[in-house]
Amino acid sequence: MLRAIIVDDEELSVKRLRRILAASREISSCHEFLNPLEAIEFVKANPVDIAFLDISMPEIHGMKLSASLLELDDSLEIVFVTGYDEYAVQAFDMSALDYLLKPVTAERVSRTLHKFRKIQNLPATSPSPSPAAALTVRLFNGLKVFRGENTEPLKLRSPKTEELFAYLICKRVVSREEIIDTLWHGLEPEKAWKNLNSTLYYIRKAIGQSKAGGCIVADRNEIRIDERALDCDLYSFERLLRQYRPLSDKNTEWIREAEALYAGPLLKGKAYEWAGERAHQLEHGFLQLLELAARSCLERGQSRQALYYFNEILKMDTLREDIGYEAIRVLIELGRLNEALRQYQVLAEELQRELGVEPGPHIQELVNGLRP
């Protein structure tokens, strides 16, 4: 199974290629980027087998992007995708794996993936698991796992079984050594390996998976998650964070979906040390998304919707003085002066209780004229 990225500034092209790759049953994970710079940052931190790059992009030309990606990982295979065939010779001069013309077809992509397998000496992939075995995994606001159409969450054998499953879902791909060092640190090596294998067995048993198929794919060195075999709120949320564009026509749709997905902190109630930083990053990403949405609404003259987003931020981070200022300013513009004063009072009380300080002079100046 391959790990892929798609980089294309045309969203419809991204969606088409993503659907084709998903249907191929050869891709374990596929991350999409409308911004080439985000793709570079992703490859810095994540292993990728094959990259599908649009050539004509406004920020970074696909040829230049491929050079940057290969500097990070020279084992990465590059496939150029474009609506024009004038770049074909240049593409192959750069030792690209293949060159696809838009609109991309499933048959043509299949030939590309076959070429990849042949070069890497990989066998043909096995059929994907039955849809009946699909899992739904919810990591925000706790940990819940559902199988098929069942509405009751599965019960895993023990807290350690839950933790290993959550760890694998969060990591996507991880070596056995890293798992042992994280979850069974300090334990005698032979016993730690035995614990890992037995815990993995109990996970598979609980989710109705055999070694031959399912969302968990393991070999002697690493364990990875086949994202096609499950529906995970974390994966969907991270895709939204990557794809969001403040002035896009899909702004409202994306934000509503993000709010529905982010039901609470990652793995809330689970005291997993390894998850703390990830949870903080996701919360920060969600807050940034809300702020981008709010400022986008202001640019469009949608003051009430902007106020909603500002208030959602303040529910999660009551000490955001900059957001408090924006919320008060919008309330004043809307003529809701009493609410503006109440908003200021709440902010002042939080700052005094938590930090022992008063709101900044710019906020005080904003509300001074409102007091009787």
Going by pLDDT thresholds of 50, 70 and 90, the confidence category of residue 13 is confident
What is residue 318's predicted lDDT score, i.e. its pLDDT?
93
Distance CA 122, CA 120 (A): 5
CA-to-CA dists, residue 332 to 306, 338, 340, 367, angstroms: 13, 9, 6, 9
**Contact (CB, 8 A) for 20 and 245:** no
**Contact (CB, 8 A) for 137 and 167:** no
**Contact (CB, 8 A) for 266 and 139:** yes
What is residue 247's predicted lDDT score, i.e. its pLDDT?
56
* Residue 229 predicted with pLDDT over 90: no
* Residue 371 predicted with pLDDT over 70: no
The mean of the pLDDT values for the chain is: 86
What is residue 127's predicted lDDT score, i.e. its pLDDT?
41
* Residue 84 predicted with pLDDT over 70: no
What is residue 256's predicted lDDT score, i.e. its pLDDT?
76
**Contact (CB, 8 A) for 51 and 76:** yes
What is residue 246's predicted lDDT score, i.e. its pLDDT?
58
**Contact (CB, 8 A) for 241 and 144:** no
What is residue 90's predicted lDDT score, i.e. its pLDDT?
55
Mean pLDDT, residues 58-86 taken together? 84
pTM for the full predicted model: 0.60
Distance CA 235, CA 229 (A): 12
What is residue 11's predicted lDDT score, i.e. its pLDDT?
86
pLDDT digits (tens, 9 = 90+) for 173-203: 999 999 999 999 999 999 999 999 999 999 9
What is residue 47's predicted lDDT score, i.e. its pLDDT?
84
Going by pLDDT thresholds of 50, 70 and 90, the confidence category of residue 97 is confident
User: Which among 245, 174, 238, 247 has a CA at the least distance from the CA of 42?
Assistant: 238
Q: Which of 206-215, 289-298, 333-342 has the lowest mean pLDDT?
A: 206-215
Distance CA 62, CA 82 (A): 9
* Residue 310 predicted with pLDDT over 90: yes
* Residue 87 predicted with pLDDT over 70: no
- In the chain, the domains with their CATH numbers are 2-120 (3.40.50.2300), 131-231 (1.10.10.10), 234-368 (1.25.40.10)
CA-to-CA dists, residue 281 to 19, 151, 238, angstroms: 29, 30, 11
Task: Identify the burial level of 95 via C-beta atoms within 10 angstroms of its C-beta, where 0-12 means exposed, 13-18 middle and 19 or more buried.
Answer: exposed
What is residue 109's predicted lDDT score, i.e. its pLDDT?
92
Regarding beta strands 216-218 and 27-33, do their DSSP bridges make them parallel or antiparallel, or are they unpaired? unpaired
* Residue 24 predicted with pLDDT over 50: yes
**Contact (CB, 8 A) for 97 and 50:** yes
What is residue 7's predicted lDDT score, i.e. its pLDDT?
94
220 versus 87: which is more confidently predicted?
A: 220
**Contact (CB, 8 A) for 13 and 39:** no
212 versus 353: which is more confidently predicted?
A: 353
Task: Identify the burial level of 140 via C-beta atoms within 10 angstroms of its C-beta, where 0-12 means exposed, 13-18 middle and 19 or more buried.
Answer: buried
Q: 160-197 burial string, b = 16+ CB within 10 Å, else e?
A: bbbbbbbbbbbbbebebeebbebbbeeeeeeebbebbe
What is residue 126's predicted lDDT score, i.e. its pLDDT?
42
45 versus 328: which is more confidently predicted?
A: 328
SS3 track for the chain: CEEEEEECCCHHHHHHHHHHHHHHCCEEEEEEECCHHHHHHHHHHCCCCEEEEECCCCCCCHHHHHHHHHHHCCCCEEEEEECCHHHHHHHHHCCCCEEEECCCCHHHHHHHHHHHHHHHCCCCCCCCCCHHHCEEEECECECEEEECCCCCCCCCCCHHHHHHHHHHHHHCEEEHHHHHHHHCCCCCHHHHHHHHHHHHHHHHHHHCCECCECCEEECCCEEEECHHHEEEHHHHHHHHHHHCCCCCCCHHHHHHHHHHHCCCCECCCCCCHHHHHHHHHHHHHHHHHHHHHHHHHHHCCCHHHHHHHHHHHHHHCCCCHHHHHHHHHHHHHCCCHHHHHHHHHHHHHHHHHHHCCCCCHHHHHHHHCCCC
From the CA atom positions of the chain, what is the Rg in Å? 24
pLDDT digits (tens, 9 = 90+) for 124-180: 544 444 444 478 899 999 999 988 767 788 999 899 999 999 999 999 999 999 999
What is residue 44's predicted lDDT score, i.e. its pLDDT?
87
What is residue 129's predicted lDDT score, i.e. its pLDDT?
40
User: Which among 127, 104, 159, 119 has a CA at the least distance from the CA of 25?
Assistant: 127
* Residue 94 predicted with pLDDT over 70: no
What is residue 245's predicted lDDT score, i.e. its pLDDT?
66
Going by pLDDT thresholds of 50, 70 and 90, the confidence category of residue 249 is low
242 versus 8: which is more confidently predicted?
A: 8
